[in-house]
């Protein structure tokens, strides 16, 4: 009996050892991995007061734009300017043939000279008539001349006074004609009404133009206008005098500054937006009318903002959201959905909400992390080595 009992006991022990060994071999991988931690680098959340801004898009337009036309009809004999040239106020843009106008001016000036001579003659005759009438009036008082002679002298003096009035009226009429003729001579020269650039020249030498035909287009672009379209819900945040910073694709990295000068009081009922206009400095004429711009409008006050390294922010394309992993005091990663201030390539990234000042965020191995994952803070070199 004893030998059989011993054999059974040995068999039972062997089976127990075999089962225990099999259980250890089949332990779930998740359980085994839960005992390891992910080595990550971290960075603190930095907070600071930053200006409150409003982003907008818009386009540049000339501060002044004029289709300059002549004051008179005529044939063009000279076009001293071309597209792209800068002209000052009063510079000649186009010159018309002025032969007829000059001849008319010569004729009117001769008429003025004759009228001036007639006035001088009438005034001298009037002086003589007035003196004679006075002398005869004195003689009539002493009885040396008859009343008839004295009345004739007085009538002659009154007639000469009227002659002077008529001569002066003729002179004034001639002078008015002279002014018109001088204007006609000036009208054959088309000058710039303000300083600016020639953006178009519509005529050439030899063409016949009339006052209804523009000859050049003149634009003033310093300062240049920036017209921005703003959603109607932002109407309460905008006012004249706010600072504006603008950038264009043509000059990457360059910022142009200006000031809001006008806020449209009406909101478009179709788009539910309104326009805001700013004047932007453009001394080098780098900005051109028609350029598209991305602008930032400073609201004139500060708000608390939070910044983290760009490598700490991961984008979830499925939910169109952004997230970071905050490392808590117990050494675990906590998933936070955050809102960034603006999409872009800036580093560090400005967050609107989702984190607090002083918290630590993971800056490496974000793909290996999940909410509640155990982590260990490693030096940057160690984290890069583990990633490999």
Per-residue confidence in pLDDT tens, the chain, 388 aa: 334 434 444 444 444 444 344 444 433 344 334 458 899 999 999 999 888 888 899 999 999 999 999 988 888 989 999 999 999 999 999 988 865 666 777 788 888 899 899 999 989 998 998 998 888 888 888 888 888 888 888 898 899 889 999 989 998 988 898 887 777 766 788 999 999 999 999 999 999 988 889 999 999 999 999 999 999 998 888 999 999 999 999 999 899 999 999 999 999 999 999 999 999 999 889 999 999 999 999 988 888 889 999 999 998 888 888 999 999 999 999 999 998 877 656 789 998 888 999 999 999 999 999 999 999 998 765 544 454 4
Which residues touch 10 (CB under 8 Å, ≥6 apart)?
none
| Domain extents in the chain | 35-49+305-387, 55-63+227-302, 68-97+188-220, 98-185
Q: Which class in CATH covers the domain with range 55-63+227-302? A: mainly beta
CATH-assigned architecture of domain 68-97+188-220: Beta Barrel (2.40)
Q: What does pTM read for this prediction?
A: 0.60
Give the 3-state secondary structure of 137-199: HHHHHHCCCCHHHHHHHHHHHHHHHHHHHHHHHHHHHHHHHHHHHHHHHHHCEEECCCCEEEE
Report, in this order, helix, strand and coil percent for the chain, each rounded to 5: 35, 35, 30
Coil, strand, or helix at residue 124? helix
Which residues touch 47 (CB under 8 Å, ≥6 apart)?
304, 305, 306, 307, 357
Task: Give dist(CA 50, CA 342) in Å, integer.
Answer: 14
Same topology for domains 55-63+227-302 and 68-97+188-220, yes or no? no
Q: Which class in CATH covers the domain with range 35-49+305-387? A: mainly beta
Token pair for residue 295? 């602008």
Report how far apart the first and last C-alpha atoms of the chain are (Å, whole number).
Answer: 65
Task: Give the pLDDT confidence score for residue 186 in this predicted structure.
Answer: 66
- Best CA proximity match to 326, nearest among 352, 304, 308, 347: 308
Tell me the torsion sign for CA atoms 363, 369, 370, 372.
negative
Residue with tokens 């992993």, as numbered in its chain: 325
């Amino acid at each position: 009996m004893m030998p059989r009992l011993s054999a059974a006991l040995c068999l039972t022990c062997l089976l127990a050892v075999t089962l225990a060994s099999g259980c250890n071999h089949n332990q779930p991988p998740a359980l085994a991995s839960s005992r390891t931690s992910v080595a990550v680098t971290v960075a603190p959340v930095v907070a600071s007061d930053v200006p409150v801004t409003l982003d907008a898009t818009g386009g540049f337009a000339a501060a002044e734009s004029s289709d300059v036309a002549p004051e008179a009809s005529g044939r063009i004999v000279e076009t001293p300017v071309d597209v792209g040239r800068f002209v000052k106020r009063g510079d000649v843009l186009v010159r018309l043939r002025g032969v007829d106008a000059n001849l008319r001016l010569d004729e009117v000036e001769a008429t003025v000279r004759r009228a001036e001579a007639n006035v001088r003659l009438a005034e001298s005759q009037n002086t003589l008539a007035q003196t004679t009438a006075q002398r005869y009036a004195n003689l009539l008082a002493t009885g040396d001349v008859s009343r008839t002679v004295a009345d004739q002298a007085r009538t002659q003096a009154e007639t000469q006074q009227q002659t002077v009035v008529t001569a002066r009226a003729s002179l004034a009429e001639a002078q008015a004609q002279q002014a018109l003729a001088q204007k006609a001579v000036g009208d054959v020269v088309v000058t710039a009404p303000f300083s600016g650039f020639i953006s178009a020249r519509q005529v050439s030498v030899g063409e016949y133009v009339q006052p209804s035909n523009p000859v050049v287009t003149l634009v003033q672009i310093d300062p240049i206008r920036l017209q921005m379209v703003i959603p109607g819900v932002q109407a309460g945040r905008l006012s004249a005098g706010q600072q504006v910073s603008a950038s264009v694709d043509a000059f990457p990295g360059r910022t142009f500054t200006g000031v809001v000068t006008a806020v449209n009081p009406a909101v478009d009922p179709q788009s539910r937006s309104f326009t805001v206009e700013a004047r932007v400095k453009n001394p080098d004429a780098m900005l051109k009318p028609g350029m598209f711009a991305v602008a930032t409008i400073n609201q004139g006050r500060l708000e608390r903002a939070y910044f983290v390294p760009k490598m700490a922010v991961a984008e979830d394309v499925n939910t169109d959201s952004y997230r970071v992993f905050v490392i808590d005091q117990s050494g675990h990663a906590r998933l936070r959905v955050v809102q960034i201030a603006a999409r872009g390539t800036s580093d560090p990234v400005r967050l609107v909400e989702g984190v607090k000042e002083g918290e630590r965020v993971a800056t490496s191995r974000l793909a290996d992390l999940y909410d509640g994952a155990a982590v260990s803070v490693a030096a940057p070199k160690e984290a890069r080595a583990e990633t490999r």
